[in-house]
């Protein structure tokens, strides 16, 4: 039996430090020199058009994508080091995907205890107690015995958040967690994320939900063509962006029916 994952280290510097990050898929360069630090307890939202590299950047943080060059440090450990024990780092990093990625043949409770028992080596009783606490946290205490197919999309995504929380993460990564949901279900997931932010969870969030980013984010990153074009407080980047490319993107997102009066094309 392998040893349980150690407690998350408390780095003296940022929880995440990205330096000179490049990522290419064949001839296509998706990230072209990204530098980004995320401090303890900070909520950073990454916005940008489809294809700008947002999800790729997030996936490089826990090495779901292997960077072409540059370095990524998580909790003081360089995950881009060829000798890194990435599983030990991932034990302290929760990720919530666009799709819920629940095991369809396992109950909600089983989905929230499996990794605890296999990775953290918790007993069945301890893992279930922690899972039930986190299911209550996301408003699903009464659905522990349900199967994923019996839940709405919003409920399934909240189960995915409870599953991530059950690993006691030091960092949560969200990859457009509401993009697969019907509009009326988005709010219940964003409410849980707001609560996590209020509790001081360090979060790196790829999102198209501008109202959420403006309300919750300590900092907003606008990624365009693989580079950080603009970053700063949410009120500045979303409310009063400096770059014309940022303004154009936000016009499209915030007012999809807007048409440029001069050219007659979408703004």
Residue 86 is encoded by which pair of tokens? 């990435």
pLDDT at 51: 87
How far is the C-alpha of 118 from the C-alpha of 66, rounded, in Å?
Answer: 25
Is residue 197 predicted with pLDDT exceeding 90? yes
Query: Mind listing the pLDDT tens digit for each residue in 2-45?
Result: 444 555 555 567 999 999 999 999 989 999 999 999 999 999 99
Query: Regarding beta strands 16-25 and 69-74, do their DSSP bridges make them parallel or antiparallel, or are they unpaired?
Result: antiparallel
**How many other CB atoms are found less than 10 A from the CB of residue 53?**
25
Confidence of residue 267 (pLDDT cuts 50, 70, 90): very low
Query: Mind listing the pLDDT tens digit for each residue in 232-256?
Result: 999 999 999 999 999 999 998 887 6
pLDDT at 263: 39
The string of DSSP codes covering 169-203 is: -SEEEEESTTTTS-HHHHHHHHHHHHHHHHTT--E
Q: How large is the C-alpha radius of gyration of the chain? A: 19
As a whole number, mean pLDDT of residues 218-245 equals 94
Rounded percentage of the chain residues whose pLDDT exceeds 90? 76
**How many other CB atoms are found less than 10 A from the CB of residue 55?**
19
Is residue 54 predicted with pLDDT exceeding 70? yes
Question: From residue 233, how far is each of 197, 210, 220 by CA, in Å?
Answer: 15, 13, 6
Is residue 55 predicted with pLDDT exceeding 90? yes
Is residue 179 predicted with pLDDT exceeding 90? no
Q: Is the pTM of this model over 0.85?
A: yes
How far is the C-alpha of 7 from the C-alpha of 151, rounded, in Å?
Answer: 33
As a whole number, mean pLDDT of residues 132-147 equals 95
């Amino acid at each position: 039996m392998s040893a349980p994952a150690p407690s998350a280290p408390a780095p003296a510097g940022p929880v995440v430090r990205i330096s000179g990050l490049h990522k290419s898929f064949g001839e296509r360069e998706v990230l072209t020199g990204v530098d980004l630090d995320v401090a303890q307890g900070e909520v950073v939202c990454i916005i940008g058009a489809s294809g700008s590299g947002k999800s790729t950047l997030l996936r490089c943080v826990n090495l779901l994508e292997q960077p072409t060059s540059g370095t990524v440090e998580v909790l003081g450990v360089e995950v881009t080091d060829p000798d890194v024990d990435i599983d030990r780092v991932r034990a302290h990093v929760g990720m919530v995907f666009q799709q819920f990625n629940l095991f369809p043949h396992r109950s909600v409770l089983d989905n929230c205890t499996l990794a605890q028992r296999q990775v953290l080596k918790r007993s069945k009783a301890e893992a279930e107690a922690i899972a039930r606490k986190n299911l209550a946290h996301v408003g699903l205490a009464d659905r522990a015995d349900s199967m994923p197919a019996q839940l709405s999309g919003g409920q399934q995504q909240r189960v995915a958040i409870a599953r991530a929380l059950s690993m006691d993460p030091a960092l949560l990564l969200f990859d457009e967690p509401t993009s697969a949901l019907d509009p009326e279900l988005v709010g219940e997931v964003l409410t849980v994320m707001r609560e996590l932010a209020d509790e001081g969870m360090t979060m790196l969030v790829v999102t198209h939900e501008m109202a959420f980013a403006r309300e919750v984010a300590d900092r907003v990153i606008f990624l365009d063509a693989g580079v950080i074009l603009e970053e700063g407080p949410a009120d500045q980047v979303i409310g009063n962006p400096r770059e014309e490319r940022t303004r154009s993107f936000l016009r499209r997102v915030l007012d999809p029916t807007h048409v440029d009066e001069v050219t007659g094309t979408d703004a």
